[in-house]
Chain A
Amino acid sequence: MIELIGVSKTYGGTVKAVDNIDLTIPDGEIFGFLGPNGAGKTTTIKMITGILNADSGTIKVNGIDIKTGPIEAKRQIGFVPDSPNMFLRLKGIEYLRFMADVYDVSPKDRAQVIDDLVKNFGMEDVLNDRIQSYSHGMRQKIVLIGSLLHDPSVWILDEPMTGLDPRSSFFLKEMMRKRADSGKTVFFSTHVLDVAEKICDKVAIINKGRILFCGTLDEMRNSSKKDETLEKLFLELTENE
């Protein structure tokens, strides 16, 4: 579970990227975070994961305040950043080893990961290559695998779908579903409304740093008159600002 209460962030004293938002992301549901470019999605996610310090407000992950218990809070989270271009000079397996050590993963769980996750993402043949030689999608997959090594109870993904092939994208969606169904938190940002419509239990729509809507898709449809597509609703909501 993630709770944000009155959280704001201003970049360089001028750009108010996130403006006093309240948001609760419950366990056991897939939660989609939607909004146009520059709405503040990445900024919000960076504050939850401890990359940025919020200017004001409180952020709690599984009840742990990220300010007062940063290490413990970070342990709860598996994070997939929006750009997978990192650690390019490491081999895939070295990256996983680093993450496993850092997140304190037991040898037994490591074996499980190799035999399960790595196989399912079709990465076993390239684990010994430098990440530099990976395609965009392969880089994403290695980061995805790295984020699940410690079987986190909160999974946060920033734009995870772009660049994945159909099989991997399908597998990713399945993973999200499985984790949510087993009572874990799944929180991801996306532009792809079709995907959101298909897999999210709940969505929040953010624009210019403010939450415009938060609730289930049905609630969203009910709030407007007709049975519209999410795309239309999205456009309406973000236009009237």
Chain B
Amino acid sequence: MSNKTLLLTRTLIRNGEGFGIKGMKNKVSKVLFALMLMIILPGLVVMFSFFVNSAYSALTAIGQEGVVISWGIAIASTVIFLFGIFYIAASFYFSRDVEVLLYLPLKPRQIVGAKFLTAALFEYLITAAVFLPVVIIYGIRSAAGILFYIYSCVVFVFIPVVPLCLAAVLVMVLMRFTNASKQKDTFSIIAGTLALILGLGINLTVQKFIINMNPQELEALIMKGENTLALLTSGIFPTARWAVSALLDTVTTAGFLNLMLYAAVSAAVYILLLFLGEMVYLKGVVGLSETVSKRNKQNKTEARDKFLKKHSALRTYTMLELKLLFRTPIYFLNCVIVNFIWPVLLLIYMVMGTEGADIQGTVKQLMNNPDIAGTIFLFGIALFTFVAGFNGTVSTSISREGQELFIKKYIPVSYRTQILAKVLSGFILSIAGAVFTLIAATAVFKLPLYISMLILAAGWMGMLFISFVDILLDLYNPKLDWDSEQKAVKQNLNVVYSMIISSIVGGLTIYAALQFSPGFIAAVLSSILVYGVLNVLVYLLLRKKGVERFGRLEG
């Protein structure tokens, strides 16, 4: 590894690549970020640890507790690989610093190496969250010796290497040979959607697997060698096998050799990546900002006619927001597509085996009971708030302006109108997602039509409320200082806050539904009343404080 690679790595990290904490100017967001790191992440880790612990017990019963370790490595590898694809594409190709790096006297492999190391650093967070609980639980429960922990440290260091290299190779080859860079937006949209579907598929498979897990079945699976997850790892990441063998056998030389093999092969893969980078990276990256232009006559008159028509500022502004959301791959995936995951999830559950059918049956039974209609209605309302809260459209709508925010300050459109247009664009997407979800839910659970219609008729108020809250969040804590769009949405805490808030609001609605199990009419009226009042209040706040805040933002 050359000095230049390390130097560049340090510069990239200092430049805020990776964590995006650097971008946070005010103290409040730093504190909130720290709080989140201290509460949410440990929460997930604790939940995962409980799972690992009970899995360990179940597996000990059949003498296969070592599977826990291969799961740990499998999950970490898969997550790293999936995150890696996005991260690598954004950082290798779509980041603004790439153009600067290109004319510095650096070899392609130095750029690739440095960017890779920066990415790896970020992935160690994921690795730690997944792999450490496994190591600790396995270590304690199997009363492992010191050697086990030492081996684990070595394995820990190398876990991200192969998956991340694979992600990098995939991205680099795609960018180079499909001529993807010329159509980069289209390419990233397709690749991203595929990755998302893949991720979803794996997720569902894992979930199905975990839900169905009982010792007998598990035993049967393992006997048949049909361990989905283990298969997956050894299929995609063959090197993981050596790591598992090393950790399960720390006493013999075979174990040590496996460990060495794992480390050596990982390092070799990294070096191979550098060679590949030297060969294909530049060709993929040069001319990246080229777009194909098609100059034809007919479009011309059409466009001219459109141009001559006059529209209101609110409408044109909203359309602009939507256009940018659809045309920017990262925004498209994080803000548009996520809205339509919900109905897909529901439908998948319907087609997929037993547990889907069970829910369906239960709900149908419930529906026959007229007392429950109010509760169902409130569940629907809660679902709407989730849909609104889990897409990052409104909660990043100021952040997405980035360095171009100044434009919005000199055009003669009041900040109130601009805020409304931003809320509106997100709201339109949420509503579209909600309608599809509702259609899917109606089909899956055989909801009576009048309930669906009423959910729609009242649920939009919940969505609007979340959207208002989201824009307030982003107005008070925008992330404007970014150099790749990735950072504006993916590394934006406002998205997380919005999820938390909508979960609380939706959760409270569900709680109320279960606690009071109100009659249908009562449920409809009270939710309209509550959300109506909330909306008016937060809108007044927005009109006063939000507009003021927008006026004070200075890019």
Contacts and interface: CB of A to CB of B under 8 A. Distances in A.
B317 A51 contact: no
A114 B290 CA distance: 26
Given A72-B412, A126-B295, A133-B291, 19 more contacts: A49-B410, A52-B409, A52-B554, A74-B412, A93-B303, A99-B411, A100-B310, A101-B312, A101-B313, A107-B309, A110-B310, A111-B308, A114-B308, A124-B300, A125-B295, A126-B293, A128-B299, A129-B293, A133-B290
29 contacts: A49-B409, A50-B410, A51-B409, A71-B414, A81-B406, A87-B404, A89-B327, A89-B328, A90-B320, A91-B303, A93-B303, A93-B307, A99-B411, A101-B312, A101-B313, A101-B315, A102-B317, A102-B411, A102-B412, A103-B411, A103-B412, A106-B310, A110-B310, A114-B304, A114-B307, A125-B295, A128-B299, A132-B291, A133-B292
B551 A53 contact: yes
Contact of A86 (B304, B407, B554): B407
Contacts of A177: none
A30 interface: no
Interface string A51-93: 1110000000000000000011011010101000011011101
Nearest to B407: A86
Contacts, number: 107
Nearest to B328: A89
Interface in B235-255: none
Contacts of A79: 410
A208 interface: no
Contacts of A114: 304, 307-308
Contacts of A106: 310
B409 A50 contact: yes
B187 to A, nearest CB: 15
B310 A107 contact: yes
A127 interface: yes
Contacts of B552: 53
Contacts of B224: none
A77 B303 contact: no
A40 to B, nearest CB: 15
Interface bin, chain B: 35 or more
A129 B327 contact: no
Contacts of A49: 409-410
A100 B307 contact: yes
A33 B289 CA distance: 34
Nearest to B304: A114
A46 B555 CA distance: 11
A145 to B, nearest CB: 12
B406 A130 contact: no
Interface string B512-555: 00000000000000000000000000000000000000011011
Interface of A: 46, 49-53, 71-72, 74-75, 77, 79, 81, 86-87, 89-91, 93-94, 96-107, 110-111, 114, 124-130, 132-133
Contacts of A110: 307-308, 310
Interface in B389-409: 404, 406-407, 409
Nearest to B324: A89
A94 B412 contact: no
B306 interface: yes
Given A102-B413, A114-B307, A127-B300, A53 B295 contact: no
A104 B316 CA distance: 11
B307 A89 contact: no
A50 B309 CA distance: 28
Contact of A77 (B291, B311, B324, B410): B410
B14 interface: no
Contacts of A81: 406-407
Nearest to B313: A102
A58 B292 CA distance: 47
Contacts of A128: 294-296, 299-300, 303
Nearest to B320: A98
B554 A94 contact: no
Nearest to A95: B320
B49 to A, nearest CB: 44
B446 interface: no
A74 B414 CA distance: 10
Contacts of B290: 133
Contacts of A102: 313, 316-317, 411-413
B323 interface: yes
Contacts of B311: 101
Given A93-B303, A96-B307, A101-B312, A74 B410 contact: yes
A100 B309 CA distance: 10
A105 B551 contact: no
B524 to A, nearest CB: 39
Contacts of A89: 185, 323-324, 327-328
Nearest to A124: B300
A52 B313 CA distance: 22
